[in-house]
Every structure is written in structure tokens, then in C-alpha cells.
Structure 1
Amino acid sequence: MDSVKRRLIIISVTVSLILLVIKFYSFYITRSNAILTDALESIVNVVASCFALYSVYLSSLPKDENHPYGHGKIEFFSAGIEGTLIILAGIFIIYQSVYSLIYPQQLAFLPYGMALVGFSGVVNGVLGYVLQIKGRELNSLTLEADGRHIFTDAISSFVLIFGIGIIYFTGMFFLDSVFSILFAGYIIYNGYFLVRRSVAGLMDETNPEAINTTVKVLNDSRKENWIDIHNMRVQQYGGDSHIDLHLTLPYYFDLIQVHDEVHRVEEVLEENLPGNTEVFVHADPCLPESCCHYCQVRDCPVRKYPKSKKIRWNAENMSKNQKHYHELTFLPESNQES
């Protein structure tokens, strides 16, 4: 998996370098600020892809004494660096565009410039799409962020061609700076999105997608002895996950039975979630006066009350630090599974 990530990032760096040369040549012959906008974003592509290559290498390193949870969070940092560079490029583009509005200059060879930018856009579009798809498959925020950035660059290139076409056919050269400012705003917006996601990951902000996936896996493999799961936490470290949860089991289980059920929960999550998953399970004994009402254990030898309810396991109640007998979201007995 790590070798696939590295190979994709190396391809991204190589393609970005080639397109960088093409775009700056296009700016050199046309003197268009709009094309300069595209060229400057390509510099960001190269720098960000190089950093992404390093982050993929670092995130693949095993755990050590100084990093007991591994090095996966570097991927969040990488995405934040890329977003920051995008924002800085957008700010510089706005500055250059305002300067050109005040001190305009003649544009030339616009059809050649459009052709070169169009070629760059097609290549970036394909590369960005592939990186985003592979990033989701490999659960790599670095690949997905790099792909999103490159795909955004492709979209802006095609919009840029449209704008340059209007300038060429109308002769309204001031529109070059106007379009550049609009592109810069779009670039800054995408940079903010990446920075926001990066900060969320570094701060261990709750990821609804990761939690809902974990809940679905547990529901699909739910066993009758798993009376209750609560106080569940899902943390992400790049493409890897760390999960803590409390598992309520029948109080009469001996230590070996408890160990086996805990191991089953760990296996279910480790085998069905993407990336490497580390699971810590804290076992709790059931409380007959409260748990019997929703306990799913058939023919329980110590049951004190009949089963009358079944609790839906969802992200909200499984994340709370309390057993589910406090919950009010119950299914009536007629809707229960036998």
C-alpha cells in the first residue's frame, strides 16, 4: 500500500514539474496575468507534491518509543501545508492582478497560450481524478488532498481558457486582471478547505464518517453476548485508526470468556475498517436491574427481568460515556429480532 502511495506521488511531482515549465512558457509568450495565475498555482503543486512524498514516506514508518501511535498524522500536516501554500498563491495573484489593472500591458499570442493551458488542464484533470480515487481507496488524506488540488487546477485552467477567449475576441484586455482576481478567490477558498480539514485532524475533531463506518461494522457483526457498547472514541492518524470502547458482557462470564469476546470485537473492527486499526476494549459486567430489559442473550441463566426493549446502536448513543439503559431511544418488543 505504501509503495503505491509513493509511486503515485512521484508521478504527481514529475507531471507537475513538466506542466510548470509549459505554463511559464505560456505566460512568457502571452504576458497574461490569468495564465500567470495558473503558472503560480503549478509552483504550489510542485512544492506540495514534494512535501506529500515526504509525508507518505514518514507515515509509513512503524511505531516507535517517541511515536506510540505511529506517524500517520503527518498526512494532516501535509494537507495543511498544501492549503496554506494555495492561499498564499491566491493572495499574490490578487496583488499582481491589481497592479496590472493600474499599469496595463499589451497581450500577445493568446491562441498559443490557450492551447498550452488546455493541454495542461487535460493532464491535470486526469491525474487529479486518479489521485482522489486512489486516496479514498487507500484511506490517504495526502493523496486525496493532492488530487483535489490538482483537479482544482485543471478546472481553473479550463475556465481560464474561456476567459482568455473572451479577451482575445473582444480586445478588452483589462478583463485579464478581473478574471485573475476571480480565479484567486476560488483558489483561496479551496486552500481554506484543506487547512480546515487538516486542523480538524490534528485536533482530533470528531469525524462523523469514521464513526458511522465503525458503528455500521459493529451492527453488522453484532453478537447477542455484546449487551452494550458505549464510550466509543475513534481517532484517525492519517490512514490509520485508533478505537477505544467499553463493552458490556454478562457478569457471570469467566476471564477466558471475557477475553474471547473482547478479541472478537477487535477482530471485527481490524478486519473490516480501512488501513491499520488499533482497538482497545474495556470490559464491563452487566447490571441485572437495568441491563436485563434490553439484554439479547437467549436463555440467560440469571435473567431477573424479561427482555422488553432493543436499543439501536448509533453514533450518538455509542459515543456517550454511559450504559444504554439511560437512553430513551428504544424499539418496541414487536420490532425486535427474535
Structure 2
Amino acid sequence: MNFVLFSTLVFYSVVVILKILWGITGKNLALFSDGLDSLKNVFTLSLSIFFLQISSQGRDLTHHWGHKKYDSFGALVIGIFQIFISGVSGTYIIFRFNQVPSSSSIVTSFVSFLLMIFVVLSLFFVSHRLKSESIRAELLHEATDLIQTFFVFISTFISVNYIGFINSAFALIIAAVLLFNGILTVWRAEKFLLDWAPPRNVMQKIENILSESDVSVRDIKASLSSSNTLRLEITLQVDAQTPIFEAHQIAHSVEDKIISELSKMGVKVENCSVHVEPLGAHTTKDDK
């Protein structure tokens, strides 16, 4: 099935190249802009698959919170690429505005529409067999692209036979939407890439839970990776004579209680690491 997905991606790439070339040679600005928009979709699909494989990995020695940030980084790259493509498309269109497509571009735009039908059907087949949410999401994008290509054909037909500037106007709309989506993607990705301090009421709740436990707290590290998703790392100190299994039980009990109590506040604990060490460990000369 991976071969089918790869074949669909290759075929879609060929369709994108044809759209761009036919748009340039046929003086069809809408088809050219649509081709660049489809190029963004191919880039998005390829990059999403790549970063999804990385972000699905768990924690390791160098990534204590896991690899989920890579997914947001991929979204940031995609957003920047969208903004760049919209700039290229918009500049090309503005300098050639009111350009009337050639009569042959009616045929090429209709062929592009037929090819996009095949791309959408292929992705539907792949998403149905793989039951992949990411592929289903991409299928929605390509279905939107299919509708867009249909209107490219309509605008081309109208421009060639009736109103010349319609094709250019529709091309500019495609570029504007692409720019808006790029800015929105970057804004969303930035929210997940940057962490910020939790509100005081959340920290107060964590401190109250810890104060109820028969342990000493050496360190608390907390950050929000989204508006209600918390990452937490706590270091506790227990009596040096406490058996290891009992220390582990204390850590698990504290962790479970924090997750339970914060969920009641609408805060999801994405990662919670509770470390236990002997009382007095890491004591400095200034502490003595």
C-alpha cells in the first residue's frame, strides 16, 4: 500500500508540473496559480509524512518531552513555503493582469480537472485502505483543489469567450487565499513551538498537592505547550532509608493525583515526570 501512496504522490507531482507549464504556455494565470497551490499540497503531503514519522517517536535522552515539537516545526516550514509560493504567484499575476488565456488553454484546464479527479480518487482509495487520519485530511485538501481546478476551467472559458479579466481575477484570489492560509499556519505553529509559564492558579494547585504528600520538594519545572496542555517535571526527596519500591509508589501516587486534579481544572498533563532522590542530595555549601 505504501507503493500505491508513493505512486499517487508521483502522479500528483506530474499533474502539478503540467498545470504550471500549461498555465505559462497558455497564458492562463488561474491555471498557473492553481498549479502553485497544488505544488504546496504536494509539498505539504510529503513533509507531513516525514515529520509525522519523527514526531511519533517517544522520549529519549536528548528529547525529554518526546518529539511532538517536530510536527509543529513541519507546520511552520509548510506555512513559510505557502507564503513564499503566494508571493511568487501574486507577483507573476500582477505583472500580467488582464492577460487573456489562449483558446487552447480551455482544453488544458479541462484536462487538468480530469487529472485531479483521478488524484482525488486515488487518495480516497489509499485513505480507505490505510485508515490514516492524515491521509484523510489531505484528501479534503485535494477535494478542495479539485473544485478550485473546476472553477479555473470555468474562468478560462469565460475569459476566452466573454470577459477577459475574469481569469486574472480568479488567479489573484487563489494567491490571496494561499497567502492567508500560510500566515494562519505559521501563527498556529508558533503557538505550539513556544512554551510559556502556567498560570498561578495551576502552580498553586500543584504546590498544594505536593504539600499534602510526606515528601520534600527540591524542584518543579512546568511549562504550557498550548493553552491547556501542561508539561511537568518534579524532583522529590524522601528519607534515605525509604525502600526503592516505596519511593516509586510515592512518585506514582503524586503523578496520578496531579493528573487527576488538573484534569478537573481543564488542564491536560501531556508529560509528567516525577523523580525521587534521597533527602539532602544536591545540597550545596550555601544550603548547609
TM-score tier after normalising by the smaller chain length: 0.5 to 0.7
Task: Determine the structure 1 residue equivalent to 2:159.
Answer: 167
Task: Determine the structure 2 residue equivalent to 1:288.
Answer: none
Q: Is the CA contact 1:127–1:147 (under 8 Å) kept in the aligned structure 2?
A: no
User: How many Å separate the matches in 2 of 1:165 and 1:13?
Assistant: 29
What does residue range 1-338 of structure 1 map to in structure 2 within 5 Å? 10=6, 13-24=9-20, 26-27=22-23, 30-101=26-97, 104=99, 107-123=102-118, 125=120, 149-170=141-162, 172-204=163-195, 235=225, 243-244=231-232, 261-262=253-254, 278-280=271-273
Q: Counting helix residues as a fraction of each chain, which structure ranks higher? A: 2
How far apart are residue 49 of structure 1 and its match?
3.1
Quick one: higher RCO (CA 8 Å, sep 6+), 1 or 2? 2
Specify whether residues 52 and 259 from structure 1 end up closer, same or farther in structure 2 by C-alpha distance, changes over 3 A only. closer
User: How many Å separate the matches in 2 of 1:61 and 1:8?
Assistant: 25
Q: Percent identity?
A: 17
How far apart are residue 37 of structure 1 and its match?
0.8
- 1:175 aligned partner, one-letter code: I
Q: Deviations over 1:218-257 (max 9, x none)?
A: xxxxxxxxxxxxxx97637xxxx765499xxxxxxx9898
Q: Is the CA contact 1:52–1:146 (under 8 Å) kept in the aligned structure 2?
A: no
State the secondary structure of the residue aligned to 1:71.
Answer: coil
User: How many Å separate the matches in 1 of 2:5 and 2:193?
Assistant: 22
Q: Is the CA contact 1:23–1:35 (under 8 Å) kept in the aligned structure 2?
A: yes
State the secondary structure of the residue aligned to 2:225.
Answer: strand
- TM-score under structure 1 normalisation? 0.53
User: How many Å separate the matches in 1 of 2:59 and 2:3?
Assistant: 23
- TM-score under structure 2 normalisation? 0.61
How far apart are residue 178 of structure 1 and its match?
1.8
User: How many Å separate the matches in 2 of 1:13 and 1:267?
Assistant: 42
- 1:201 aligned partner, one-letter code: F
User: How many Å separate the matches in 2 of 1:193 and 1:25?
Assistant: 29
Q: Deviations over 1:11-60 (max 9, x none)?
A: 66334313223423543663311111111223333333333333123223
Specify whether residues 25 and 87 from structure 1 end up closer, same or farther in structure 2 by C-alpha distance, changes over 3 A only. same
Task: Determine the structure 2 residue equivalent to 1:291.
Answer: none
Q: Deviations over 1:149-194 (max 9, x none)?
A: 5454334223322322322331x33322222112211111122221
- 1:86 aligned partner, one-letter code: Q
Q: Deviations over 1:243-279 (max 9, x none)?
A: 5499xxxxxxx9898666546568989xxxxxx9533
How far apart are residue 68 of structure 1 and its match?
1.5
- 1:179 aligned partner, one-letter code: F
How far apart are residue 86 of structure 1 and its match?
1.5
State the secondary structure of the residue aligned to 2:97.
Answer: helix
User: How many Å separate the matches in 2 of 1:96 and 1:106?
Assistant: 14
Q: Which runs of 5+ in 1 are unaligned?
A: 207-231, 247-253, 270-275, 283-338
State the secondary structure of the residue aligned to 1:66.
Answer: coil
Specify whether residues 63 and 31 from structure 1 end up closer, same or farther in structure 2 by C-alpha distance, changes over 3 A only. same
User: How many Å separate the matches in 2 of 1:281 and 1:256?
Assistant: 9
- 2:164 aligned partner, one-letter code: F
Q: Which runs of 5+ in 2 are unaligned?
A: 198-221, 235-245, 262-268, 276-288
Q: Deviations over 1:275-308 (max 9, x none)?
A: x9533479xxxxxxxxxxxxxxxxxxxxxxxxxx
Deviation above 6 Å: which 4+ runs of structure 1?
Answer: 6-9, 127-134, 254-257, 266-269
Q: Is the CA contact 1:114–1:161 (under 8 Å) kept in the aligned structure 2?
A: yes
State the Cα RMSD in Å. 4.7
- 2:87 aligned partner, one-letter code: I
Count of aligned pairs: 236
User: How many Å separate the matches in 2 of 1:205 and 1:119?
Assistant: 48
User: How many Å separate the matches in 1 of 2:196 and 2:252?
Assistant: 32
Q: Is the CA contact 1:87–1:191 (under 8 Å) kept in the aligned structure 2?
A: yes
